[in-house]
A and B are shown apart, each in its own frame.
Chain A
Amino acid sequence: MAKKKRPVVELNDAVIKFVGDSGDGMQLSGNMFSDVAALVGNDLATFPDFPAEIRAPQNTIEGVSGFQVHMGNSKIFTTGDLVDVLVAMNPASLRANLKWAKKGATIVTDTDAYDEKTIEKAGYKNNPLTDDSLADYNVIKAPMTALTKESLKGTGIDNKTAERSKNMFALGILYYIFNRDLSTSFHYFEEKFKKKPELIKINKIVLQAGYNFADTIETIESVIQVAPAVMEKGRYRNITGNTATAWGLMAASEKSGRPLFLGSYPITPATEILMELAKHKSLGTKVFQAEDEIAGICSAIGASYTGSLACTTTSGPGLSLKSEAIGLAVMTELPLVIVDVQRGGPSTGLPTKSEQSDLYQALFGRNGECPVIVLAASTAENCFYYAYEAAKLALEHMTPVILLTDGYLGFGSTLFKIPKMADMPSINPPIAKPNDPDYRPYKRNPETLVRQWALPGTEGLRHRLGGLEKADITGSVSTDPLNHQKMVNFRAGKVEKVADFIPEQPIDGHPQGELLVVSWGGTYGAVHSAVNQLQNEGKPISHAHFHHIMPLPKNTEKVLKGFKKIVVCELNSGQFVNFLRMKFPMPNFCQFNKVQGLPFMISELIEKFNQLLEEK
Chain B
Amino acid sequence: MDFVNMTVERSNIQLTKADFESDQMVKWCPGCGAHAILAAVERVFPKIGYRKENFCMVSGIGCSSRFPYYVNTYGIHGIHGRAAAISTGVKIANPRLSVWMATGDGDSLAIGGNHFIHVIRRNVDINILLFNNQIYGLTKGQYSPTTPMGKITKTSPQGTIEHPFTVGELVMGAQGTFFARVPDNNINLMTEAMFEAARHDGTSVIEIMQNCIIFADKAHGDVIGKENKEETMLVVKNGEPMVFGKNHEKGIMLRDTRLEVVEIGKKGITIDDILIHDQFNQDPGIHLMLAKLAPPQFPMVFGVIRSAMFPTYDDLVEGQIKYAKETSKIRNMDDLLNSGDTWEI
Interface residues of A (CB under 8 A from B): 35, 38-39, 41, 231-238, 247, 250-251, 254, 259, 261, 263, 280-284, 286, 288, 290-292, 294-295, 298-308, 310, 324-325, 327-328, 332, 418-421, 456-468, 476-477
Contacts and interface: CB of A to CB of B under 8 A. Distances in A.
Contacts of B332: 254, 283, 421
Contact of A466 (B78, B88, B97, B336): B78
A294 B82 contact: yes
B274 interface: no
Given A302-B89, A456-B90, A235 B342 contact: yes
Q: Top 9 nearest A-B pairs by Cβ distance?
A: A466-B77, A302-B89, A299-B89, A282-B328, A298-B85, A303-B93, A281-B324, A295-B85, A456-B74
B137 interface: no
Contact of B68 (A41, A466, A476): A466
Given A235-B342, A251-B333, A295-B115, A300 B89 contact: yes
B341 A237 contact: yes
Contacts of A234: 344-345
Contact of B76 (A288, A332, A421): A332
Given A282-B327, A290-B118, A306-B94, 12 more contacts: A234-B344, A236-B342, A263-B89, A284-B321, A290-B88, A295-B85, A305-B76, A421-B334, A456-B97, A457-B51, A464-B57, A464-B69
24 contacts: A39-B341, A39-B343, A236-B342, A247-B337, A251-B337, A261-B92, A284-B325, A290-B85, A291-B85, A295-B82, A298-B79, A298-B86, A303-B92, A306-B97, A310-B93, A418-B337, A418-B342, A456-B53, A456-B74, A457-B54, A461-B53, A464-B57, A467-B61, A467-B78
B79 A464 contact: no
B198 interface: no
A465 B78 CA distance: 8
Given A235-B344, A464-B77, A420 B334 contact: yes
A125 B51 CA distance: 79
Contacts of B328: 281-282
B87 interface: yes
Contacts of B93: 259, 261, 286, 302-303, 306-308, 310
B338 interface: yes
Most buried by A among B73, B76, B328: B76
Contact of B118 (A295, A461, A466): A295
Interface residues of B, number: 59
B53 A457 contact: yes
B52 interface: yes
Contacts of A460: 53
A327 B78 CA distance: 11
A291 B338 contact: no
Contact of B341 (A238, A325, A463): A238
Most buried by A among B115, B323, B325: B115
A298 to B, nearest CB: 4
Contacts of B88: 288, 290, 295, 299, 302
Interface string B89-110: 1111110110000000000000
A290 B84 CA distance: 11
A453 B9 CA distance: 21
Contact of A286 (B78, B79, B321, B343): B321
The prevalent SS among residues of A at the interface is mixed
A181 to B, nearest CB: 14
Contacts of B89: 261, 263, 288, 298-306, 310
A329 to B, nearest CB: 10
Interface of B: 22, 24, 51-54, 56-58, 61, 68-69, 72-79, 82, 84-94, 96-97, 114-115, 118, 317, 320-321, 323-325, 327-328, 330-334, 336-338, 340-345
Contacts of A418: 337-338, 342
Contacts of A325: 79, 82
Contacts of B340: 237
Contacts of B86: 298-299, 301-302, 305
A282 B330 contact: yes
Contacts of A247: 333, 336-337
A237 B331 CA distance: 19
A420 B333 CA distance: 9
A250 B343 contact: no
Most buried by B among A259, A282, A304, A325: A282
Contact of B79 (A299, A456, A467): A467
A38 B90 contact: no
Contacts of A462: 52-53, 72-74
A382 B51 CA distance: 44
Contacts of A283: 330-333, 336
A299 B324 contact: no
Contacts of A290: 85, 88, 118
Contact of B74 (A298, A419, A464): A464
A247 B51 CA distance: 36
Contacts of A38: 343
Contacts of B344: 234-236
Contacts of B52: 462
Contact of B97 (A41, A284, A301, A457): A457
Given A288-B88, A324-B79, A459 B53 contact: yes
Nearest to A287: B317
A13 B83 CA distance: 55
A251 B337 CA distance: 9
Nearest to A40: B343
Nearest to B327: A282
B85 A281 contact: no
A294 B114 CA distance: 10
A71 to B, nearest CB: 14
